[in-house]
Amino acid sequence: MSAEVLRGSDGLNLPQEYRALLRPGETETDLRGNVHRLPRFFYEIGSWQEAHEIRLAPHFTLAELMLVDCREARLLLSQFPHYVPCAIVLLAKFLEDFRREADAPVFVSANGGYRSPAHQIGGAKSIHAWGTAADIFRIGDTFLDNAKSIEKYGAIASSLSPAVFVRPFGAGVGETDDHLHLDLGFASLTPRECSEAS
Ligand SMILES: [Zn+2]
């Protein structure tokens, strides 16, 4: 199944119980004090089977970028449809470029792609709530759990676009020592069939 079957929907039209968790278009202050607007437009995913069948890029299915565990809000974890911000397609495109440049398969961690604003890791302050970030634990046979591999692949990711940010290696705040975090900033995508009028 190609990504062409994806149809964007306006989060503001979702049932209240979903809006309470996804907070479409609402503002949130990040850990630096900067205010960002949470994603408003989502792809509606009907089942895990669909998520596994939808290829956002030649080597990345949607399922790989929305896999979360029990720290996700119950409604968003156990019931379908699931909702994923439309900017996830930009992340998949970048990961495909990264895979090509790294010349090896790229493995995204559980909880390492999209996490909703209601997820217990980071919540709405985390850029993962935009669907524009990925935590990568392995590339080919290399595990990203040491300075050498994180810095090597971080440099490759950074070289691909000025939009990319890679967390530096380390154990401090904003650093990582057991995966490679990369993101594209607080990007949102409005599907062409959707209106931002209200
Ligand atoms: Zn991350």
**For 141-186, what is each residue's pLDDT tens digit?**
999 999 999 999 999 999 999 999 999 999 999 999 999 999 999 9
User: Is 49 part of any domain?
Assistant: yes
Q: Which of 39, 36, 6 is nearest to 23 (CA)?
A: 39
- Residue 7 pLDDT > 90, yes or no? no
User: Is 191 part of any domain?
Assistant: no
d(CA 137, CA 179): 5
Q: In angstroms, what is the span from residue 31 Cα to ligand 1's centroid?
A: 14
The pLDDT of residue 198: 77
Q: Residue 76: which H helix or E strand, with range? A: helix 74-78
| Mean per-residue pLDDT, 34-43 | 97
> Percent of the chain scored above 90 by pLDDT?
93
Q: In angstroms, what is the span from residue 182 Cα to ligand 1's centroid?
A: 7
User: Is 38 part of any domain?
Assistant: yes
If one counts the domains in the chain, the total is 1
Q: In angstroms, what is the span from residue 3 Cα to ligand 1's centroid?
A: 24
Q: In angstroms, what is the span from residue 112 Cα to ligand 1's centroid?
A: 6
User: Is 195 part of any domain?
Assistant: no
Q: In angstroms, what is the span from residue 117 Cα to ligand 1's centroid?
A: 14
| Mean per-residue pLDDT, 120-129 | 95
User: Is 169 part of any domain?
Assistant: yes
Instruction: Give the phi and the psi of residue 148 in degrees, each rounded to 5.
Output: -60, -50
Q: In angstroms, what is the span from residue 66 Cα to ligand 1's centroid?
A: 13
Q: In angstroms, what is the span from residue 136 Cα to ligand 1's centroid?
A: 8
Q: In angstroms, what is the span from residue 198 Cα to ligand 1's centroid?
A: 31
Q: Residue 17: which H helix or E strand, with range? A: helix 16-22
Q: Please tell me the pTM assigned to this model.
A: 0.95
The pLDDT of residue 4: 63
| Mean per-residue pLDDT, 16-42 | 96
Q: In angstroms, what is the span from residue 141 Cα to ligand 1's centroid?
A: 21
User: Is 117 part of any domain?
Assistant: yes
Give the ranges where 88-187 is alpha helix by DSSP (H): 88-102, 147-160
Q: In angstroms, what is the span from residue 7 Cα to ligand 1's centroid?
A: 26
Q: Which of 95, 87, 96, 94 is nearest to 43 (CA)?
A: 87
Residue 153: burial class (beta carbons within 10 Å; 0-12, 13-18, 19+): buried
Going by C-beta distance under 8 Å and a sequence separation of 6 or more, which residues neighbour residue 169? 147, 150, 151, 154, 175, 176, 177
Contact between 191 and 90 under an 8 Å Cβ cutoff? The reply is no
Q: Which of 68, 7, 2, 5 is nearest to 43 (CA)?
A: 7
Q: In angstroms, what is the span from residue 135 Cα to ligand 1's centroid?
A: 5
User: Is 151 part of any domain?
Assistant: yes
Range of the domain at 58: 3-183
Q: In angstroms, what is the span from residue 195 Cα to ligand 1's centroid?
A: 30
User: Is 193 part of any domain?
Assistant: no
List pLDDT tens digits, range 80-113. 999 999 999 999 999 999 999 999 999 999 999 9
The pLDDT of residue 31: 85
d(CA 158, CA 101): 11
Going by C-beta distance under 8 Å and a sequence separation of 6 or more, which residues neighbour residue 31? 125
